[in-house]
Amino acid sequence: MNDEPEQRGTPVGRRVMLGVIALGAAGVAAGPALSRSVDSLLAGLSKQDPTGLTGLLPDSGQFRYYSVTGPVKSVAPADYRLTVNGLVDRPASYSFADLQALPQHRIVHDVQCVTGWRVPATPFEGVRLADLLEAAGVRQGATAVHFDCFDGSYTESLTLDQARRDDVLVALKMKDQPVTHDHGGPVRLYVAPMYFYKSAKWLSGITVTPTVRKGYWENYGYDTDAWVGKSNGRDDAPTS
Ligand SMILES: Nc1nc2c(c(=O)[nH]1)N[C@H]1C(S)=C(S)[C@@H](COP(=O)(O)O)O[C@H]1N2
Ligand SMILES: [Mo]
């Protein structure tokens, strides 16, 4: 799959260490590079990626499994709830079936992680976040939306304008299949135009807020406005 020179004939451990050293050195000069190395190192705590550092390897067009926590409890669709509250007129709690009963939208777009890997043309499908916000009735004074996850640790945020875009979904499907547990199922956020860290996995709560609250990685230096190619000091080619 991947024929980068360092991939041929160099043991994984050595490649990984060289990558860590390179990123560590870059981090002295550049904040975002340091944050990206933290992202990669913490990804390594996951069971699917025991070396943890596949995010440092050149793009191989594959998804990585990321979680900032250890194992995350599995939630069956029948037990799933998504709450919508905060500065809204009609707080709500949706079951998986409730979400399935709403209009579904499918988007096919490239996924781009801030550590460099990209997966081309990946379908996501689900309910527009805009529709859930409309149903809740956003109150005067609200400017942002905050997301909580049932892993108990990860958080994200969007401005209200970003949250109302039609390429932002509460996704029930990924690659035309139910979102798997590892990829944040039964329901994850999907923010097509931004780096993949905005796409919070294991979504459990949507809170409309007066101001933007930084998300998990944003407290470690990632940009809150995470447009692909125009943030985090990166110049990735546009996704389409
Ligand atoms: N709850 C939760 N959501 C998360 C993360 C995480 O660690 N926990 N990692 C983010 C990052 S940095 C990326 S690149 C993607 C990875 O999604 P994947 O595991 O489906 O490839 O999820 C994002 N959403
Ligand atoms: Mo990421």
Q: What is the DSSP string of 149-218?
A: ETTSS-EEEEEHHHHTSTTEEEEEEETTEEPPTTTT-S-EEEETTB-GGGS-SSEEEEEEESSPPP-TGG
Report pLDDT for 40. Answer: 53
Query: Which residue is closest in CA terms to ligand 1's atom 16?
Result: 66
For 209, the 3-state DSSP assignment is: strand
Q: Calculate what percentage of the chain has a pLDDT beyond 70.
A: 75
Residue 113 Cα to ligand 2 midpoint, Å, equals 4
User: In the chain, where are the structural domains located?
Assistant: 5-56, 77-220
Report pLDDT for 4. Answer: 26
**Mean pLDDT computed over every residue of the chain:** 83
At 65-91, the pLDDT tens digits run 889 998 999 999 999 999 999 999 999
Q: Which ligand is nearest to the CA of 49?
A: 1
Domain 77-220 homologous superfamily, CATH: Oxidoreductase, molybdopterin-binding domain (3.90.420.10)
Q: Report the alpha-carbon distance of residue 220 to residue 86 in Å, rounded.
A: 25
Residue 212, both tokens = 């933007």
pTM over 0.85: no
Residue with more model confidence, 80 or 10: 80
Q: What is the CA radius of gyration of the chain?
A: 18
Residue 149 Cα to ligand 1 midpoint, Å, equals 11
At 185-238, the pLDDT tens digits run 999 999 999 999 999 999 999 999 999 999 999 999 999 999 999 999 999 999
At 11-42, the pLDDT tens digits run 233 334 334 434 444 433 344 444 455 555 55
Q: Which residues line ligand 1 (CB under 6 A)?
A: 39, 63-68, 113, 149, 151, 154, 183-184, 196-197, 199-202
Residue 21 Cα to ligand 1 midpoint, Å, equals 24
If you search the block for the tokens 């990321």, which residue do you land on?
66
